[in-house]
Chain A
Amino acid sequence: MRPFTYERADSPAAAAAAVERRPGAKFIAGGTNLLDLMKLEIETPAHLIDVNGLKLDTVEATPDGGLRIGALVRNTALAADQRVRRDYGVLSRALLAGASGQLRNKATTAGNLLQRTRCPYFYDTNQPCNKRQPGSGCAAIGGYSRPLAVVGSSDACIATHPSDMAVAMRALDATVETVRADGTTRKIPIAEFHRLPGDTPHIETALVPGELITAVTLPKPVGGTHVYRKVRDRASYAFALVSVAAVVQRDGSGRVAVGGVAHKPWRVEAAEGEMPRGAKAVTSGLLADAKPTHDNAFKLTLVERTLASVLAEAKG
C-alpha cells in the first residue's frame, strides 16, 4: 500500500472539487473494494476524500412515483427498504445475493456500481493486465477464463463486472445522478454508465475525473414478478457465474438483464420482445454477438437455462 493523505469532505461539490484538484485522488465510502485494492497496490491513490459524512444516505420518493436512493445508502439498508422490497423486488433480491452480511453493512449504493472486476489476473501485479496497467496486455486471454466475459469483450480485456445490484438496476432502468467540481449535475442512464472495454478497459464508467455519484433514481414501479437468480459454484459468498434479473408481466412480456457475462450489466432491449416465446429466443438475441473462450462457453447455455428457469418461476 502506498502512503496516502486523507480528508473528509463536507459537501458533494466540495468532494468533487477536492478530487479534481489532486491528481490520483479518490473518493472512499464503504471501502470494501478500494482498501483491498490499495493493499495489493492495484489502486495507488495519493489522497482519499472520505464522502461518508455527506448525508447522501436516505431513500426518498420522487415526484413521479419512483425512488431516489442516496449514494451512501448501505446495501443492507437498501435491500431492507420496504418500498424496495414491495416495488423493486429484483433489486432487493440482487443485493441480498451479493457479498456477505458484513460487507453489505459497509458497502454503499454508489460504491457497488463502481466495484472493479474480479478477474484474477487483475489481482496479481506480476501479470499483464490492460485494465490495471494500460498497454501491458491481457493475461486472461488464453489463460484461465472460466469466470470471465462472453459478450462485449475485446482483444484488450475479457473482464466482467462483479455487481449483482447493478444488474437489477439495469433491468429497472435506473439513472445515476452526479455532481462535478463546478457544482453542475447530470443524470446518466445506467445503460450508459458502465462502458465496454474496447481498447481502454481501464476506463470503466462514463464518470469524468472528480465526478461524484450522489444518487441513483428508480423510475416508478413497473409491476410484474421480480426474480433475481444468481448461479454460482457455492451457495453463498461467491461471484456469479451468471445471474439473471428479470421483471416478468402477466402476459409474458418483460425485461431481462444478465450479470457475469460482460464488462457491464448486460441487457439487450430488442431481445426482450421475444420473452413470450421463451428463453431460447431471448438468449439468442441477448448473446447474439457472444465470443466466449473455451473455458467459458458454458455460460451461453447457462444463461439460456437459467432464464428458462426464471421465466418458469415467474409464471408460477
Chain B
Amino acid sequence: MKFDTPATTNPIDQLKVVGKPTDRIDGPLKTTGKATYAYEWHDVAPNVAYGWVIGSGIAKGRIASMDLEAARKAPGVVAIVTAENAGSLDKGKRNTATLLGGPEIEHYQQAVALVVAETFEQARTAAGLVRIDYTPADGAYDLAAAKDKAEKTKDGDSVVGDFAGAFAAAPVKLDETYTTPDESHAMMEPHATIAAWEGDRLTVWTSNQMIDWMVTDLSATLKMPKDKVRVISPFIGGGFGGKLFLRADALLAALGAREAGRPVKVGLSRPLMMNNTTHRPATIQRVRIGATPDGTITAIAHEGWSGNLPGGSEETATDQTRLLYAGANRLIGNRIATLDLPEGNAMRAPGEASGMMALEVAMDEMAEKLGMDPVEFRIRNDTQTDPADPNRPFSQRQLVQCLRLGAERFGWAKRNPQPGQVRDGRWLVGLGVASAFRNNLLTKSAARVRLDQRGIVTVETDMTDIGTGSYTIIAQTAAEMMGVGLDKVAVRLGDSSFPVSAGSGGQWGANNATAGVYAACVKLREAVAQKLGVNSADARFEDGQVIAGNRKVPLAEAAGADGLSAEDGIEYGDLDKKYQQSTFGAHYVEAAVDAATGEIRVRRMLAVCAAGRILNPKSARSQVIGAMTMGVGAALMEELALDKRTGFFVNHDLAGYEVPVHADIPHQEVIFLDETDPISSPMKAKGVGELGLCGVGAAVANAVHNATGLRVREYPITLDKFLDRLPAMG
C-alpha cells in the first residue's frame, strides 16, 4: 500500500481496540519465564557448545603473537576461532570496526578470539589461558584534543540568512559550550546468540532489533547468500539501539558453530558490553543565540563535535536545532573527528538526546539573560513551519500546548524565578523545564495476515518487541481492522522468514509496523469480501463477523477450511518532504540539591507529549517513564569514564557505570495530548519512545540551576563539578 495522501477515515478510527490501555499480550509469557530469550533456545538447538569471547587488551596496534596451546589442551575445549582460521570475512555495511579483529586492532576489547567448549565454565577457563602479545600503536582517544582536526560532515551545515551579522548585532546574546559524555546502552539482556548450521544454511537465535539488517550484514560478512541465513529474535531484553546491528556475539557464534560442527551459543559479558559493542559517543556542543529584548530569537547557531572510528558516523546532536525554534539567521552543523574508541553509534534518540541536553539549557540561560520566564521564551519562538523553508509546515506541532498544559499541571507558577532561594530543610529546591522534540521517521514495513477456520487472525512480521509493546499494538491493530477481539489475534514477530518490517529503532517501530499490519489487513479484508462475493467497501468487520447488506457471516466461516492469507506493506510517498513530521513535548522536573554535599535528587517529573494517535496509552506511558528515567541517568550519573591514555572505558560494569535505581526515580506523570496526525500514516500515529528522553536531561539541569543558581555545562552533573561553588557551610 502506498501512502502518499493524508489519511481519511478508516477502520482504525473506530478505536474499539486501538487507543485502549491494554495490558501486554506477551506479559504472561514474560512474567512466568516462558518467553524464550536468545540464550535459552535449549530445545531447538540441542548439543550446544559454549563460546567465550576474548577482547583485545589494547585499543590500537597489532597482535604480535597469540599462544593458543594451553587453551586448546584445556578440558572440554572444542574449537578456537581467530582471524587466522575464520576464513575470509567481509564486513557488514553497518559495522565500522571488524567484529573479529586481528592482527590489526581497532579498539579496546575488539573481539580477537572465541573459545568454544563443552560447558560455559570450561570455555571461560580456557579463554583465560590464551596468551596474547601486542605491539601497541598510538591512538587518538580524547575528543577535546581531536576537536580541532574534526571535519564537517557530508550533510554540510544548514545555513539560513546571515548568522554572524545577526548575532553580532543582537542586543542580548549567549555563547556557551556544553559537553555530553560517552554513554552505554546498559540494557538488561546482554548481546547473545545461538548459531546452528544445517549444511550451508545458518540459523541464529539472537537478540536483535532489526532482523533484516542482521540477515543482510551477517550474510555479507560470511560471504553467503542472504536467503541461506535465518534470524530468529522474538523476545529481546532491551536494546536502546545497542542491538540494531550485527555484533560479535552473532558472528562469532556462527563461526564457532561452523568450526565446532555443532550449535554454539555466545553471550557477551557485561565488561564487553561497555568496550566491545557500540556506545553513544561524547559530544562537544557550542550554542549561540541572539535575541531582541522582547525575547525574539534573531540568530541561532549550534555546532556539534563528536568522534568515531574511521568510516564511522557522527552524533547528529545539532539536528533538532534546525527545526525547534524560529529565528531568521541560522548556522547549524555537525563535525566529526577520528577517535580510536569502540564504535560510536545509535543509542535511544541518537542526535536529539544529546543535542537537547545542550540546546534546552542554552534556552534556559538565554531566558534568564532576557529576564523572561523560560516557558514564555520558548513559546515566543515557536514556529509552525520549517524555519529554513516557510512553505514546509509541520504536519502537527503542539509544542506550545504541551508547554502550557505542563506548566499548569506541574504548578510552574509557584517557581521562584530567582535561583537558589527555595529551601526545604537541608535541600535546595528548584524547578526546571525543557521542550521535547524528536523527529517522526517513516520507513516501509510489511506483514502477513492469516485468517483461519477458527476465526483466528495471525499476524507475522519480522518486527521486533524490545520491551516496547510491539506485540500488543500490532494485535490491537489487527483486531481493530478485522473486527475481532484481542483473544482472536495471534502475533508472531522477530523471524526473518516473515515479511520485512520497519524494525525497532528511532521510535519508528510503532507507527510504521502497525501501518504495515494495517495494509496487510486491508488486503485480507478484500480477500474475505471477494470470497463472499461482496464489495469490500461495503463490508463491515464487527464482532467476528463480516456484515454486508443483509448478510452476516462469521469470519471463521468466511475463512473456510483452507483459511485466507494476505501480505502487504506500507510504503511512503513524499509526505515527509512536503511536511515536517516531528513529535513534541514538554518536560518539567523538580530537583533538590543537598546544600552541604551537592547530591542531586529528582523529586517530581512530568512529561506532556503530542505524538499523534497514542495506540496504547499504557505501553506508551511505560515508554515515556522509562525514557524519563534514562534522562535522569544522562543528566546526573551516566558516563563511560574514559582512560584517555589507553582508550579504555574504565567503569565497565553496572557497579561502575551507574544508571538510576528505583530510589532515584520519584513521582512520574505522563500526559498525552489528544492528537491524530493523518499525514504520518493510516494509523495517524507517531512514536513516543525517544520523545520521552529528549529534553529530560536539560530539564533536570535547569531545575538544578533554579535550585542552586549554578550552571554545570559538562554532563553528567555530578557534585564534584560544583561543590566548591555551593554556599559556604554555616
Contact = CB atoms under 8 A, between A and B. Distances in A.
A binds B: yes
Contacts of B646: 139, 143
B652 A123 contact: yes
A312 B594 CA distance: 14
Interface string A36-69: 0001010000000000000000000000000000
Contacts of A308: 596, 729
A126 B128 CA distance: 11
Contacts of B598: 302, 305
Interface in A190-243: 229, 231-239, 241
Contact of B656 (A2, A120, A143): A120
A3 B645 contact: no
B523 to A, nearest CB: 51
A118 interface: yes
B653 interface: yes
Contacts of B648: 124, 127
15 contacts: A120-B641, A120-B650, A120-B651, A123-B652, A124-B650, A124-B652, A144-B643, A144-B651, A231-B597, A231-B599, A233-B658, A236-B661, A296-B720, A298-B719, A301-B723
Interface in A44-103: none
Given A143-B650, A302-B723, A124 B597 contact: no
Contacts of B716: 233
Interface residues of B, number: 44
A39 to B, nearest CB: 8
Contact of A123 (B58, B128, B653): B653
A235 B650 contact: no
B202 to A, nearest CB: 30
A309 B724 contact: no
B661 A1 contact: no
Contacts of B664: 234-236
A72 B121 CA distance: 29
Contact of A236 (B653, B663, B718): B663
Given A124-B271, A124-B648, A305-B596, A144 B642 contact: yes
A291 interface: no
A313 to B, nearest CB: 8
A143 B596 CA distance: 28
A306 interface: yes
A225 to B, nearest CB: 16
B662 interface: yes
B652 A1 contact: no
A234 B658 contact: yes
A113 interface: no
B124 interface: yes
B655 interface: yes
B597 A306 contact: yes
B578 interface: no
A60 B636 CA distance: 43
Given A1-B121, A231-B597, A118 B655 contact: yes
Interface string A1-35: 11100000000000000000000000000000000
Contacts of A231: 597, 599, 719
Contacts of B271: 123-124
Given A234-B637, A241-B719, A298-B719, A305 B729 contact: yes
B719 A234 contact: no
Given A120-B650, A234-B636, A235-B663, A302 B719 contact: yes
B645 A143 contact: yes
A235 B719 CA distance: 13
Among B426, B650, B661, residue most surrounded by chain A Cβ atoms (within 10 Å): B650
Given A3-B125, A144-B651, A298-B719, A233 B637 contact: yes
Interface of B: 57-58, 75, 121, 124-125, 128, 271, 426, 594, 596-599, 601, 636-637, 641-643, 645-646, 648, 650-653, 655-656, 658, 660-664, 716, 718-720, 723-724, 726, 729-730
Given A120-B656, A124-B652, 12 more contacts: A3-B125, A39-B124, A124-B650, A139-B643, A144-B642, A144-B651, A146-B641, A146-B720, A233-B718, A279-B729, A308-B596, A309-B597
A236 B662 contact: yes
A142 interface: yes
A131 to B, nearest CB: 15
B723 A126 contact: no
Contacts of A312: 730
A309 B593 CA distance: 13
A237 B512 CA distance: 39
A121 interface: yes
B658 A238 contact: yes
Given A1-B121, A120-B651, A234-B660, A302 B597 contact: yes
Contacts of A237: 661, 663
Nearest to A39: B124
Contacts of A234: 636-637, 658, 660-661, 663-664
Ranked 8 nearest A-B pairs via Cβ? A126-B57, A309-B596, A235-B663, A298-B720, A236-B663, A308-B729, A144-B650, A120-B650
A240 to B, nearest CB: 11
B426 A309 contact: yes
A1 B651 CA distance: 21
Nearest to B74: A3
Given A124-B271, A298-B720, A306 B125 contact: no
B388 to A, nearest CB: 40
A158 B174 CA distance: 41
A53 to B, nearest CB: 25
Nearest to A162: B655
Contact of B650 (A121, A233, A239, A296): A121
A87 B120 CA distance: 48
Nearest to B722: A298
A302 B726 CA distance: 11
Name which of A118, A126, A127 has the most chain B CB atoms within 10 A of its CB: A126
Contacts of A232: 599
A235 B650 CA distance: 22
Contacts of B597: 229, 231, 302, 305-306, 309
Contact of B652 (A120, A142, A229, A305): A120
Contacts of B651: 120, 144
B641 A2 contact: no
Contacts of A306: 596-597
B661 A118 contact: no
B723 A118 contact: no
B25 to A, nearest CB: 31
A103 to B, nearest CB: 11
B128 A2 contact: yes
A17 to B, nearest CB: 28
B729 A1 contact: no
A106 to B, nearest CB: 16
Contacts of B645: 142-143
A144 B641 contact: yes
Contacts of B723: 298, 301-302, 305
Contacts of A309: 426, 594, 596-597, 729
Nearest to B602: A235
A69 B138 CA distance: 54
Interface in A120-151: 120-121, 123-124, 126-127, 139, 142-144, 146
Contacts of A302: 597-598, 719-720, 723
Contacts of B724: 298, 301
Interface in A271-316: 279, 296, 298, 301-302, 304-306, 308-309, 312
A312 to B, nearest CB: 8
Contacts of A142: 645
A233 B636 contact: yes
B364 to A, nearest CB: 23
B63 to A, nearest CB: 13
A229 B723 CA distance: 17
A231 B598 CA distance: 9
A127 B649 CA distance: 12
Nearest to B128: A41
Contacts of B125: 1-3
